[in-house]
């Protein structure tokens, strides 16, 4: 009987040690995830970011998908991941879900053409800016608004912009404008413009160049008398968790990217976006 009890004790201790070992391995695997830099973006805002089905033009495979993400934001994310010495993982996320995904820890950063507005700064931190762009309008080529020089030339026009962006709020600066409901993404806005549902939509210059390159019926309108915006509104930065340890290092990496390189990356993104081919 004693031998049986002793054998039982030995077997029990062995099982405990094995379970402890499994727990240790699990912890190590979790810590191993720090070797990745997980970025969220909507992959639907060319030339900043887009989705494509093949691996051409140095794109990155989307996490858990057969699709790939490309664009200016992806190139910036690749440089940051390289600088951090981490593997880049990109998670396709709806625009409204980006900040919640960041604050919940599902992603490490937002690199999605996001402006560091004061409202967003209440919830998350931002890196230094990695791009700055003016606001323009995308309209039908040959239409009554193509030769506009002031935003006030859109008096009476049907104008929209993307949901939950400052682009939508600046429409109120146009006197007499027929402000249309905000839309979820730029694809929807291009369709609405093409069909005549709206006369124009507010965008940043790179997206407008992208739209006019993708559709010969579109034109970009730049203004001599344009929208009043703050510097943060027209800048783009990396979104990070409050107090993130990554902020300082990311700022150092961004500082090492020359203005020439940034412009070259944007030019390449405009040229390589799927819709422009």
Q: What is the pLDDT of residue 29?
A: 32
pLDDT of residue 12: 52
Q: Can you give the pLDDT at residue 224? A: 92
Q: Could you tell me the CA-to-CA distances from 91 to 65, 207, 263 in Å, in that order?
A: 9, 21, 25
Question: Which phi and psi (to 5°) does residue 11 adopt?
Answer: -65, -40
Determine the Cα–Cα distance for residues 184 and 189; give it in Å rounded to an integer: 8
Spell out where 83-193 has E strands: 87-92, 109-110, 125-132, 135-140, 158-160, 178-179
Structural domains in the chain, CATH included, are 35-132+232-276 (3.40.190.10), 135-221 (3.40.190.10)
Q: Are 36 and 91 in contact (CB under 8 A)?
A: no
pLDDT for the residue 275: 60
Q: What is the mean pLDDT of each run of 10 residues along the chain (277 residues)?
A: 46 47 37 78 93 93 96 98 98 96 98 94 97 94 96 98 93 98 93 96 92 92 93 92 97 96 90 71
* Helix, strand, coil percentages in the chain from 3-state DSSP, rounded to 5: 45, 25, 35
Which helix (H) or strand (E) covers residue 30, if one does? helix 2-32
In the numeric block, which tokens belong to residue 65? Answer: 């998908």
């Amino acid at each position: 009987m004693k031998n049986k009890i002793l054998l039982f004790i030995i077997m029990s201790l062995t099982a405990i040690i094995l379970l402890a070992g499994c727990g240790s391995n699990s912890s190590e695997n979790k810590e191993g995830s720090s070797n990745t830099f997980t970025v969220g973006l909507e992959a639907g805002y060319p030339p900043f970011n887009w989705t494509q089905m093949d691996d051409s033009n140095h794109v990155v495979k989307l996490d858990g998908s057969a699709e790939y993400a490309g664009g200016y934001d992806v190139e910036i994310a690749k440089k940051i991941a390289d600088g951090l010495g981490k593997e880049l993982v990109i998670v396709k996320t709806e625009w409204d879900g980006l900040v919640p995904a960041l604050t919940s820890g599902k992603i490490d950063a937002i690199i999605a053409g996001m402006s560091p507005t004061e409202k967003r700064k209440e919830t998350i931190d931002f890196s230094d800016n990695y791009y700055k762009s003016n606001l323009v309008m995308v309209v039908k080529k040959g239409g009554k608004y193509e030769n506009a020089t002031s935003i006030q030339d859109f008096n009476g026009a049907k104008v929209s912009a993307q949901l939950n962006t400052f682009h939508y709020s600046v429409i109120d600066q146009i006197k007499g404008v027929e402000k249309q409901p905000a839309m979820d993404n730029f694809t929807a806005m291009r369709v609405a413009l093409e069909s005549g549902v709206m006369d124009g939509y507010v965008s940043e210059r790179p997206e407008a160049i992208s739209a006019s390159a993708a559709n010969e019926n579109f034109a970009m309108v730049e203004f001599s008398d344009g929208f009043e915006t703050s510097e943060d509104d027209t800048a783009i930065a990396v979104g990070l968790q409050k107090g993130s340890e990554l902020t300082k290092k990311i700022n150092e990496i961004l500082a090492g990217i020359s203005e020439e390189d940034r412009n070259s990356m944007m030019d390449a993104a405009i040229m390589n976006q799927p819709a422009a081919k």
